Structure 1
Amino acid sequence: MTDLVTTQWESGMLFESNNPSGNTFFIEASPEHGGQSEGLRPKALMLSSLAGCSGLDVVSLLKKMRVEYTKFKIDVHGELTEEHPKYYNKVLVEYHFHGSELDKKKIKKAVDLSVERYCGVMEMFRQFAEVKIAIHYHNH
């Protein structure tokens, strides 16, 4: 399977990129590198892709497992190397689940399945970074 993404220069340090779904978004350098804060930064988008890929897996799996939760978010911390080309060499993915009666065993199983089997972006990250996982349960 081949995906095609087209990214076109708009002006200055701003690019517009599409997605196979047809949606578009802007990519831009940081202000210290000539950007105007109108677009998303390329490396940070990689962290968003990681969270989105795993998050989609987890939500799908928890739905099949009939697990209830009121809020779910993923924080991804990426540490860049000092030398150019700078890349993420250490990544921490934190899964936060909120609810009144969280089924910790099933939630952990869903996260583990995403991390170890289903999330292709997670596997890509493992090729160049040390990836750590943490699950946080917020009962209320």
Structure 2
Amino acid sequence: MKASVKWVGGDTFLGLSNSGHNVVFDAGADSAAPSPMEMVLMSAGSCASVDVVSILKKAKQSVQSVEVQLTAQRADSAPRVFTKINLHFVVTGDNVSEKHLARAVNLSAEKYCSVALMLEKAVEITHTHEVVQGG
């Protein structure tokens, strides 16, 4: 896998993935895009969400929406790394099984989400979830 990041002025950078997709990053106070650390956090959430949705679909759950709410704590001094991350999954659907959701979240956390599994070597990562019936 390859990628590049190019400075485009001010505190703004443009990332280009090997698959040809552009992503804007911004580290300034008046940022026009997410910071690199925000992107890392959202990457963990999107990686885990892909797993959870896939597992719930395979379990034939009637899922209408999946949202992961991410919260993180960072070190007080440089380098301001993440020290804790929580991924809270909110799944809405018709008769979605709490048991199936718990299994999907656990499989993502323990086996499939490469981003979170990589981060947990240095960060305390927790997972919580809830089912909202109907929608």
Which TM class, normalised by the smaller chain length? over 0.9
Q: How many residues align?
A: 134
Please say if residues 6 and 14 of structure 2, whose CA atoms lie closer than 8 Å, have aligned partners that are also in contact: yes
For 2:62 and 2:33, the matched residues in 1 are separated by: 35
CA RMSD of aligned residues (A): 1.1
Q: 2:32 aligns to what?
A: 38
Identity value in percent: 24
For 1:21 and 1:64, the matched residues in 2 are separated by: 27
**Do residues 132 (structure 1) and 126 (structure 2) align?**
yes
**Structure 1: runs of 5+ lacking an equivalent:** none
Secondary structure, counterpart of 1:69 in structure 2: strand
For 1:105 and 1:82, the matched residues in 2 are separated by: 38
Q: 2:77 aligns to what?
A: 83
For 2:18 and 2:87, the matched residues in 1 are separated by: 26
Return the offset for 1:50: 0.2
**Structure 2: runs of 5+ lacking an equivalent:** none
Q: Which has the higher strand share?
A: 2
Deviations 1:109-140 (A, max 9, x none): 11111110011111111111111110111123
Which consecutive segments of 4 or more residues in structure 1 shift more than 4 A? none
Secondary structure, counterpart of 2:51 in structure 1: helix
Secondary structure, counterpart of 2:63 in structure 1: coil
Which amino acid counterpart does residue 21 of structure 1 have in structure 2? S
For 1:44 and 1:97, the matched residues in 2 are separated by: 23
The within-5 A match list for 1:91-102 is 91-102=85-96
For 1:48 and 1:30, the matched residues in 2 are separated by: 18
For 2:72 and 2:19, the matched residues in 1 are separated by: 27
For 1:21 and 1:54, the matched residues in 2 are separated by: 21
Q: 2:59 aligns to what?
A: 65
For 2:45 and 2:19, the matched residues in 1 are separated by: 18
Return the offset for 1:21: 2.2
